[in-house]
A and B are shown apart, each in its own frame.
Chain A
Amino acid sequence: DTAVSQTPKYLVTQMGNDKSIKCEQNLGHDTMYWYKQDSKKFLKIMFSYNNKELIINETVPNRFSPKSPDKAHLNLHINSLELGDSAVYFCASSRRGEDYGYTFGSGTRLTVV
Chain B
Amino acid sequence: GNSVTQMEGPVTLSEEAFLTINCTYTATGYPSLFWYVQYPGEGLQLLLKATKADDKGSNKGFEATYRKETTSFHLEKGSVQVSDSAVYFCALSKTGANNLFFGTGTRLTVIP
Q: Are A106 and B42 in contact (CB under 8 A)?
A: yes
Interface size class of B (residues with CB under 8 A): 20 to 34
* Assembly CA distance A98 to B46 (angstroms): 14
**Stretch of B16-24, B74-82, B100-108 with 4 or more beta carbons under 8 angstroms from chain A:** B100-108
- Report the minimum CB–CB distance from A54 to chain B (whole Å): 11
Within 8 A of A (CB), among B38-58: 38, 42-46, 49, 51
Q: Are A101 and B98 in contact (CB under 8 A)?
A: no
A45: contacting residue among B34, B38, B99, B107, CB under 8 A: B99
* Assembly CA distance A110 to B85 (angstroms): 24
The answer to the question of B87 belonging to the interface, with a C-beta cut-off of 8 Å to chain A, is yes
Q: Are A50 and B98 in contact (CB under 8 A)?
A: yes
Please give, as numbers and ranges, the residues of chain A lying within 8 Å of B43 by CB-CB distance: 4, 90, 104-107
The answer to the question of B26 belonging to the interface, with a C-beta cut-off of 8 Å to chain A, is no
Q: Are A48 and B98 in contact (CB under 8 A)?
A: yes
Given contacts A40-B104, A42-B104, contact A99 B42 (CB under 8 A): no
Q: Are B102 and A43 in contact (CB under 8 A)?
A: yes
The answer to the question of A63 belonging to the interface, with a C-beta cut-off of 8 Å to chain B, is no
Please give, as numbers and ranges, the residues of chain B lying within 8 Å of A104 by CB-CB distance: 36, 43-45
Residues of A in contact (CB 8 Å), total 28
* Assembly CA distance A9 to B51 (angstroms): 33
Interface string of A25-57 (1 = CB under 8 A from B): 000000101000000111111001010000110
Which chain A residues have a beta carbon within 8 Å of chain B's beta carbons? 4, 31, 33, 40-45, 48, 50, 55-56, 90, 92, 94, 96-107
A-B residue pairs in contact (CB < 8 Å), sample of 30: A31-B98, A33-B99, A33-B100, A40-B104, A41-B105, A42-B102, A42-B105, A43-B44, A43-B89, A43-B105, A44-B102, A45-B99, A55-B98, A56-B99, A90-B44, A92-B100, A94-B98, A96-B98, A97-B96, A99-B49, A99-B51, A99-B95, A101-B49, A101-B93, A102-B44, A102-B100, A104-B36, A104-B43, A105-B43, A106-B42
State the 9 A-B residue pairs at the shortest beta-carbon distance, nearest first.
A99-B32, A104-B43, A106-B43, A43-B102, A41-B105, A101-B46, A104-B44, A48-B98, A99-B51
